[in-house]
Amino acid sequence: MIEISLCMIVRNEENSLSRCLASVKAIADEIIIVDTGSTDETKAIAASFGAVIYDFTWIDDFSAARNFAFSKATREYIFWLDADDYLKEEDQQRFMELKRCLPEGIDTVNMQYNLAFDKAGNVTASLRRNRLVRRSCNFKWIGPVHEYLEVYGPSLTSDVCIFHEKDKAFTDRNLRIYQKRAAEGEHFSPRDQFYYANELRDHGLYGEAGDYYEQFLSGGKGWIEDNYQACLRLSECRERLGDKEAAFAALCRTLQYDRPRPEFCCLLGAWHLEKGQLLTAVYWYELAAGLPPDKAPMGVRNEAYSTWLPILQLALCYDRLGQHEKANLYNETALRYHPSHPSMLFNRNYFQNLLGERYTT
C-alpha cells in the first residue's frame, strides 16, 4: 500500500476544515497544513487531526504557498485538497482501494471534481484535476492565482470523486491580484489572460472581460477546452452588453475548436427561440438531446445540457407550435431526469388541464 501526504493551504477555514479532514483522516498517512494567516480556530482544528502545521506569509501567490506545502511532504505520494473539499464515504472507500492497488510506475492520478449541485444533490457541473502525484517527480505549481499543477509522465484516471461546497462569501481577492499584476505591467500568459477575463466577467466587467477573451483567443495558444469556454463566455459578455449579433458570432466561434457540443446546441436553440424561429430551435435542441455528453477529460462538464435541459426546451417549443401532446411527452421525459424541477411540475399541471382525457405520462 502506498503512503500519502495530504498537503493543504488554509486561512480562516474553521467552518469547513473539520469536514474536510474527517473525510480523509483514514487515507492520509501525514497531514501537512500551511496556514497563510488565520485569525480563527483553523490551526486548533488542524492540530486536533494530528496535522503538522507551518506558517507562510501570504504574498498574493497561491503557487508559492502550495509549493511550500509540497516541500514539507515526506511520503511517497502527495494528495492535495482545499478546505471546502471533502470525500463522501463511498469515495473514501474507493480511495483506500486505490492506495492498495495503484499500479507501479504511475506518477499522477486525476479525479473527478464535483463543483455544483441541484437541490436534490445531483451533480450539475464537474471537471477532472490531477490530485495525487508522486513526490519524487517534484511537480510544481504554476501561477500566482488560478494556479495549476504541471504534471507529466504515466497517469491514471480514477473513479474517486471529490466534492466542493464553498462556504465563504464571494470576494474580489483574485480579481485584485490580477489587477495589481496588470497595473505593474506584467505580460500575461494565455492562461492568465483567460482567467483574468473570467474574473472580470464574474464581477460584471463585461467590456474588459470581452477584451481579454479576444486577446486570449487571437493569440492562438490556448488549451482547446479554455478556447471553447472563452467563446461561450465572450458570447455571454456581448449579450450582456446588448450586442446580440456579436454574441451570436462569438458562440459560433466554438466550431473552430470542436464539433457541436450539447451546450453550444442549447445556446443556439435559445437564440432562435428568442427570435421566434421555433422549428430551427427544435433542430438545435433535438441535436443537443441526441449528442453524447461532453467527454473532455479535464474540461468543465454541465450535465444539464445533455440531459433534461434540451428536452424541457423541446416541450416549450412544441407547445408553442400547437403540438401539445408531443410537448407533454417531452416534459414527462425531462421529469425523469429532474423529478422535482418546479418548471416541469408546473408544465405537468398545465398539460393535465389542457389535454384532459388525452393527458398521458
Q: Do domains 169-258 and 259-361 have the same CATH topology?
A: yes
- DSSP code for 50: T
Cβ partners under 8 Å of residue 330, min gap 6: 311, 312, 314, 315, 318
The model's pLDDT over 65-83, given as tens digits with 9 standing for 90+, comes to: 999 999 999 999 999 999 9
| C-alpha triplet 202, 20, 161: angle, nearest 5° | 75
CB 4 within 8 A of CB 29: yes
- At 118, list the grid cell: 441541484
CB 210 within 8 A of CB 239: no
Residue 211 CA, distance from chain mean position: 23
Mean per-residue pLDDT of the chain: 95
CB 234 within 8 A of CB 213: yes
Please give the pLDDT value at position 348.
Answer: 96
Please give the pLDDT value at position 297.
Answer: 60
- At 94, list the grid cell: 474507493
Q: Where are the domains of the chain?
A: 4-164, 169-258, 259-361
Please give the pLDDT value at position 210.
Answer: 98
Which amino acid appears at position 20 of this protein? C
Please give the pLDDT value at position 183.
Answer: 95
Handedness of CA 30, 55, 36, 108 (dihedral sign): negative
Q: Which CATH architecture has domain 169-258?
A: Alpha Horseshoe (1.25)
Q: How far apart are the two ends of the chain, measured CA to CA in Å? A: 52
Give the mean pLDDT per block of 10 residues along the chain (361 residues): 97 97 98 98 98 97 98 98 98 98 97 89 89 98 96 96 86 94 95 97 98 97 94 97 97 96 96 97 97 71 91 98 97 94 95 90 81
Question: Domain 4-164: which CATH class?
Answer: alpha beta
Residue 121 CA, distance from chain mean position: 16
Please give the pLDDT value at position 67.
Answer: 98
Fold of 259-361: 1.25.40
Cβ-count burial 284-320 (b if 16+ within 10 Å, e if not): bbbbbbebeebebeebbbbbbbbbbbbbbbbbbbbbe
Q: Where are the beta strands (DSSP E) in the chain?
A: 4-10, 30-35, 52-55, 77-80, 85-86, 108-117, 123-134, 140-142, 148-150, 155-164, 301-302
